[in-house]
Amino acid sequence: MDIQSYLDQVFKKSFLSGRERSDLAEEMASHLHSSKEYHMNEGCTEEQATTKAIASFGDPISIRTKLTQETYGLSSKLILQFITICLILYLSSLFTGVALHYYDVHNRVIELFPVAFITLCALSSALLLTRKNIDRWCLLSVPILFGLGYLQAYLGLFKNMFGGLDSFTLFENLFFSGAYDFSGRSSFMLIGGLILAVQTLILFVISKNIYISLMPFAFSILYTVSHMLIFGSYYLFFGDHFSSSVTNGYNVFAAGNIQRLSDIGVKLGMCLVLFFTLSSLKKLIFKSKLQAG
């Protein structure tokens, strides 16, 4: 194995940025070539010297684990394992729910399990986008609005807070994709998107990380797609024999999917606009700091 092949193995699936890989690879290559030269001066052939230099550095997988653990606080292997486990639990909870419904066992908790696991999967995946603790705290805040939407839809949280019976449904209307099944919620689409845009700007001010800041839109799209998959699976197997407190029959669900797809399009558009806006803003801030310095 030559030095470049060794370095390629070290940085394979490391999830380090291009600049981080380049800087670390340059530093490691310098040490490896110095070690190789030393062994050649000791009388080794070029091949023997290369082998000894690489052996002195250690196993590439171990080096990769150490580098990513120092960068992320967790090894890339551990993060990937957790993502995989959460994804398996998401699919398992979905299919288990379908199987239990076949035996007439179904409740709200069964429907919420896949949502919980896909949230953990998304949060774990987002860890690969950051190295800072402040970004991780920002990540934890992202699902809050959607969590309130689900809790209001399933448990009636805050619905009676103003005294009227089921009068307050703001979180359900704005942050729960299933609300599309019950009414034309197109008027809420832009409002929900604007609230997520405000959340994005707040996260950007705190973290300065564009990708972390845009996570509210990523989670919104993820929950919408997940909702379509979860209830689509139930209707696929059971048709209108399936009933839930947050759906109203297959035809209504199918009609709601049209609004859900529109919502995804709107959110993607807003996400792209914010991405280019924040990128330009970040460049301006960087230039102003350079000029000030």
Check residue 242 and give left, alpha or beta (phi > 0: left; psi -120 to 50: alpha). beta
What is the C-alpha separation between 156 and 268, in angstroms, rounded?
A: 29
pLDDT band for 248, please (50, 70, 90 cuts). Answer: confident
Mean of the per-residue pLDDT values of the chain: 86
pLDDT (tens digit, 9 = 90+) per residue, 152-175? 889 887 776 655 555 667 788 888
Query: H/E/C letters for each residue in the chain?
Result: CCHHHHHHHHHCCCCCCHHHHHHHHHHHHHHHHHHHHHHHHCCCCHHHHHHHHHHHHCCHHHHHHHHHHHHHCCCHHHHHHHHHHHHHHHHHHHHHHHHHHHCCCCCHHHHHHHHHHHHHHHHHHHHHHCCCHHHHHHHHHCCHHHHHHHHHHHHCCCCCCCCCCCCCCHHHHHHCHHHHHCCCCHHHHHHHHHHHHHHHHHHHHHHCCHHHHCHHHHHHHHHHHHHHHHHHHHHHHHHHHCCCCCCCCHHHHHHHHHHHHHHHHHHHHHHHHHHHHHHHHHHHHHHHHHHHC
Interval 272-277 mean pLDDT: 95
pLDDT at position 76 over 80: no
pLDDT at position 186 over 80: no
Helix 186-207 to helix 133-141 angle, to the nearest 10 degrees? 160
Query: What are all long-range contacts of 31-35, with beta carbons under 8 Å and residues at least 24 apart?
Result: 31/57, 32/3, 32/6, 32/7, 32/57, 33/3
What is the C-alpha separation between 174 and 170, in angstroms, rounded?
A: 6
What is the C-alpha separation between 78 and 84, in angstroms, rounded?
A: 10
Give the rounded percent of residues in the chain with a pLDDT score beyond 90: 42
Place of tokens 């990523």: 218
Interval 71-96 mean pLDDT: 88
Residue type, 87: L
pLDDT value, residue 8: 85
pLDDT band for 117, please (50, 70, 90 cuts). Answer: very high
CB 190 within 8 A of CB 269: no
What is the C-alpha separation between 17 and 71, in angstroms, rounded?
A: 10
pLDDT (tens digit, 9 = 90+) per residue, 81-91? 999 999 999 99
Tokens encoding 128: 């690969």
Interval 197-207 mean pLDDT: 95
pLDDT value, residue 183: 61
Does pTM top 0.85 for this prediction? Answer: no
Residue type, 65: T
pLDDT band for 9, please (50, 70, 90 cuts). Answer: confident
pLDDT value, residue 184: 60
pLDDT band for 19, please (50, 70, 90 cuts). Answer: confident
Out of 33-47, 68-82, 128-142, 203-217, give the one with best mean pLDDT.
Answer: 203-217
